[in-house]
Structure 1
């Protein structure tokens, strides 16, 4: 399958995956292992397998059900060694870990429950506390507990000094009843597959792999897969608000996190204090429109990388024509996969892994030098750098295991849509987009088949106007390849109280990368007052 998009951030071989800002540093992958021990110690031992469930997006189930306050357990000693030496780790921070119970199905609010895992960061400099800032890094499928830890290291002092920073892994993600139904060897197949199929046989293989993944997940979870929709996670978010003791929600969501946040605003407009939606996923685009926009966005981002590289005083490591270089490298790796000098590594870089490395670096211009050198080394016969970038993108650890990001991403993405694209539809788009968007088009077209074989309940996303909500700040970045700027323009226009902040920069998401953006967002979060009119911040 492919790495394109539906109504989410990104797809990996057909599975909407993976990286949303802020990108997860490799060191924080270890955080899940530590927190797993913490959550096991805190757990009562009860686990609930998802049963058949379906919720209507139009029915905003009340949350008058009792919500217990989070019992935070100090887990500073567990987290401190993992973040030691990282920028921001010298801040005086304490961390708490806890759990929040939510109904498995909001159609049966007094029935079985799920336990959501939460992390809270508190600065010793905090004064005049406003409440909790709930963060979500997107995906869908990225860990919000990781995001809370990372945000505590990187958020501006003016925000960190006024809020607890809280991350709660959404249902099905991280340590919150994680969906796990795709074996690691299958994920290896997905990531290695050629992202630019040219033959009918290659397409048949891609479709068959998508069918196998869908069948495996449905066999394992059945109709219970329907419990992991964004609508249900938005309802969970209101219980999170109550559990941390806030009368209204203050929220910072990136990428897919903007879909979750805007859905919350639609369901609970009266409970919005301040929502920052950075890197907005277009609420008006269908999956085909979104996939094509992202293919176009990544092509433009690659051209920006190429222009930057060829302007370097010392010369570009991949020569004067980076696009041709990468095309040749994809052909080379398809014919002869490239070995790696990394100790213990048995994989060789295939076209799928090469393009995953390229895509990974295009999220953040700071990674462009690493990309150029890694591509040059791969062409010379060593794919170690390419594999490192690719593994950062896919969530693969050195021991060959993966986080459950891909599993959760597919599950949530397919729960959120009733759109379906036939194999014949996709074949035609692969041919057309493969020509129009040479590096990323075929991949994006293949992604549209992902949810076609997904035989589980669906809860489509609602239209989102959030009538009656307090002002909501929507951020778009001019050179964002993952969630192109028109998505933010549409979201700000659709939300009755939406205000648009445009950053004329590059990369995925904007806050807190630019001082103008920081000044605007910090004032909004602290004061709760959005700008009176749309704002543009220069690069």
Structure 2
């Protein structure tokens, strides 16, 4: 089990600290409604956003972090959106937001709404992190606003997969190619699906990207912006492009960084992901072996990982962290590897953690894996995994589901062609096959009539390979592609060339020349 197309951060720590901004009505029952169809958007009246100063809760959490010296003020907000847009005047569910503002803004433009990906990652948490990392030129002109999409974080979170089951998912065989391993993988997927269907029933169909895009337009109105300025990463590119399809005339500027390919079916997307992660691992390995101080895992990193997987299979590896009773199975080893491939800044930690695990201490591996899946030190999880499955499956097309026999054959085939990541990528296709929820497949997206939309792709992205950005830019009538020849997941603001181009677009609506490529 792996999170697909995610820019993942463990959001729960920050959000639990500011959760006092929510109220008891956050437990609104969504069980009586069905999902909204991808038809012409309804026009419900936007509810007022109730803002509360939560600076005193957030500032201690970010103290000492890079960017925390900036003069920032934070507000927590809450509003209501329709459970279903088929009945926009009916029952509602709460949406949680955070707004960050730099003191001394000059000539403000409005709000920059951000989404970090997932699906399942917290947009509210992203607003905090983006306020610390976005260029000050942008912060001087925009408030940074992030919201938890429906089903995520503090916005009526989907919570139907027990922590104990999540532990088993992470620890499970990461390369299931035998009948027994595939039986186990399918059994875990079925157990999660059954539990969520029992917990939510028809309400599982309400957690769709189409509905969230409509929610986002109500938030735009509540923020007082005539048009939306949006920055979306990974899955956020799906959310943003869906919004642009539904509301093309309401787009002021939209940056879609690390695009999920809109033109592939689940099988092609899963295979492209396996191939991209293999290439990402090779990039990590090449970097490690070229270090002047030497690679902590030797001159053949792939061989090292294979040997470590065998070691963990024979005897799971303990952790030196006080109170830790878990032992690292091959599943934990691969979870740590995959987590670190999202960002090059984690490569040194991965190399050191793998080396330590070989010597009998899996503490570093658990740290990477736990952060990736949202596991806290007390053993509880955020609802990242639950929401990821619920939203991905609610968005999927049931006609594209693969049956069990097809998936078993792919796992064996891909396990040979993509030795580290292929078998699990194939097995993940079973997740939505057994998910019991009404589906609202994503609409085709050309966003005809929208202002220019900037799509940013990274030639070395191991999560959302560059062809996805190429396809999305081509599909969007006003799409413009900006390419970075870099490594890791997402591109902005990691390099001066990309940063300058995106800043000029967000602030002045200056679009880079078509085909612009930024060097590493």
Work out whether residues 197 and 442 of structure 1, in 8 Å CA contact, stay in contact via their aligned partners in 2: yes
> Structure 1 residue 208: deviation in Å?
1.3
Match of 1:533 in 2: 514
Alignment of 1:323-402 (within 5 A): 323-402=302-381
Match of 1:270 in 2: 249
> Structure 1 residue 44: deviation in Å?
5.1
Which range moves more in the overlay, 265-274 or 416-425? 416-425
> Structure 1 residue 530: deviation in Å?
1.8
> Structure 1 residue 455: deviation in Å?
1.5
Match of 1:14 in 2: none
> Structure 1 residue 61: deviation in Å?
2.0
1:468 to 2:463 alignment? no
2-structure distance, mates of 1:54, 1:117? 20
2-structure distance, mates of 1:193, 1:413? 21
Deviations 1:90-126 (A, max 9, x none): 1111111111211000000100001100110011031
Alignment of 1:499-514 (within 5 A): 499-514=480-495
Match of 1:187 in 2: 166
1:72 is paired with a residue whose SS is strand
| Superposition CA RMSD, Å | 1.2
Match of 1:124 in 2: 103
Pick from 289, 298, 303 the counterpart of residue 310 of structure 1: 289
2-structure distance, mates of 1:362, 1:34? 29
Cα 1:207/1:72, change in 2 over 3 Å: same
Match of 1:61 in 2: 41
Pick from 3, 13, 36 the counterpart of residue 30 of structure 1: 13
Match of 2:496 in 1: 515
2-structure distance, mates of 1:344, 1:270? 55
Work out whether residues 342 and 489 of structure 2, in 8 Å CA contact, stay in contact via their aligned partners in 1: yes
How many residues align structurally? 518
Cα 1:222/1:44, change in 2 over 3 Å: closer
> Structure 1 residue 199: deviation in Å?
1.9
Segments of 5+ residues of structure 1 without an aligned counterpart are 10-18
Deviations 1:501-537 (A, max 9, x none): 0000100000000111111001100112322423111
2-structure distance, mates of 1:421, 1:269? 34
Segments of 5+ residues of structure 2 without an aligned counterpart are none
2-structure distance, mates of 1:113, 1:199? 46
1-structure distance, mates of 2:147, 2:341? 27
Work out whether residues 492 and 498 of structure 2, in 8 Å CA contact, stay in contact via their aligned partners in 1: yes
Q: Scaled by the length of structure 1, what TM-score is found?
A: 0.94
Deviations 1:365-387 (A, max 9, x none): 11111111110110111111111
Pick from 229, 232, 240 the counterpart of residue 261 of structure 1: 240
Cα 1:100/1:4, change in 2 over 3 Å: closer
Match of 1:448 in 2: 429
2-structure distance, mates of 1:166, 1:349? 38
1:251 is paired with a residue whose SS is strand
Match of 1:160 in 2: 139
Match of 1:15 in 2: none
2-structure distance, mates of 1:45, 1:223? 19
> Structure 1 residue 33: deviation in Å?
1.1
1:455 is paired with a residue whose SS is coil
Cα 1:55/1:44, change in 2 over 3 Å: closer
> Structure 1 residue 440: deviation in Å?
0.3
